[in-house]
């Protein structure tokens, strides 16, 4: 991600990359009182490193641009394309290692002890027990929505609108760990 949002004097926070289904998610947002950037500039550059020859799809989707007030900016163009690898980065072939076969000895089976149910984490909008990129994307669906029309998990501040106060609580509990 670039530092365009910081160029205005606001603070920039980069989210991700975070593994999601069969791809990755990235995001960036700015907080501050200055107006956001304007004009035509590069917001992000994607660099891919191939391990093998072949062809794959590259789809940039769910792109959301918004003003500093959270109002969505209509997107002029989204890209979808294909990348082709013709000269792959060489990968050394592993040397085989011979291992002795070990036979398992039967042991008594134990009764599993149920794990205690964790307490809900503020900002965990999808209820998976951690606050990460998936929660930010879910939260962004309700940005600037009256709390009466939004998922209550997106309004930990319990005020009339989903806004930056709720986002700051989400970010306070952010975790890069994946389960």
Per-residue pLDDT of the chain (179 residues; tens, 9 = 90+): 567 777 888 888 887 777 777 777 777 777 888 888 887 777 777 777 777 777 777 767 667 777 777 777 776 665 666 656 565 555 566 666 655 555 555 555 555 555 445 567 788 888 888 888 788 888 888 888 898 998 888 888 888 998 888 888 888 887 655 44
Exposed/middle/buried for residue 155 (C-beta within 10 Å: 0-12, 13-18, 19+): buried
Q: Does 107 reside within a domain? A: no
Q: In Å, how far from its chain's centre is CA 30?
A: 16
Q: Are residues 151 and 76 in the same domain?
A: no
45 within some domain: yes
State the pLDDT at residue 144: 86
- For residue 104, what pLDDT is reported? 56
Q: Residue 153: which domain range?
A: 120-179
Count Cβ atoms within 10 A of the Cβ of residue 20 and give its class: 0-12 exposed, 13-18 middle, 19 or more buried: middle
Position 166 scores a pLDDT of: 86
| Residue 132, domain member (yes or no) | yes
Q: Distance between alpha carbon 54 and the CA centroid of its chain, in Å?
A: 27
**pLDDT given at position 15:** 79
Clarify whether residues 8 and 70 are in a common domain: yes
User: What is the domain count for the chain?
Assistant: 2
Q: Do 85 and 2 have their domain in common?
A: yes
């Amino acid at each position: 991600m670039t530092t365009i949002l910081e160029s205005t004097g606001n603070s920039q926070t980069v989210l991700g990359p975070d593994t999601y289904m069969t791809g990755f998610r990235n995001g960036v947002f700015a907080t501050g009182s200055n107006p956001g950037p304007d004009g035509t500039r590069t917001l992000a550059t994607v660099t891919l490193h191939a391990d093998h020859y072949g062809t794959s799809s590259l789809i940039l989707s769910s792109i959301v641009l918004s003003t500093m007030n959270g109002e969505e900016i209509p997107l002029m163009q989204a890209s979808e394309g294909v990348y082709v690898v013709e000269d792959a980065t060489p990968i050394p072939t592993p040397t085989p290692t011979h291992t002795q076969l070990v036979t398992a000895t039967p042991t008594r089976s134990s009764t599993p002890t149920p794990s205690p149910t964790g307490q809900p984490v503020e900002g965990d909008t999808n209820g998976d027990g951690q606050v990460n990129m998936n929660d930010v994307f879910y939260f962004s669906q309700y940005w600037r929505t009256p709390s009466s029309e939004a998922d209550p998990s997106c309004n930990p501040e319990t005020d009339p609108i989903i806004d930056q106060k709720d986002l700051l609580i989400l970010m306070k509990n952010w975790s890069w760990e994946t389960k």
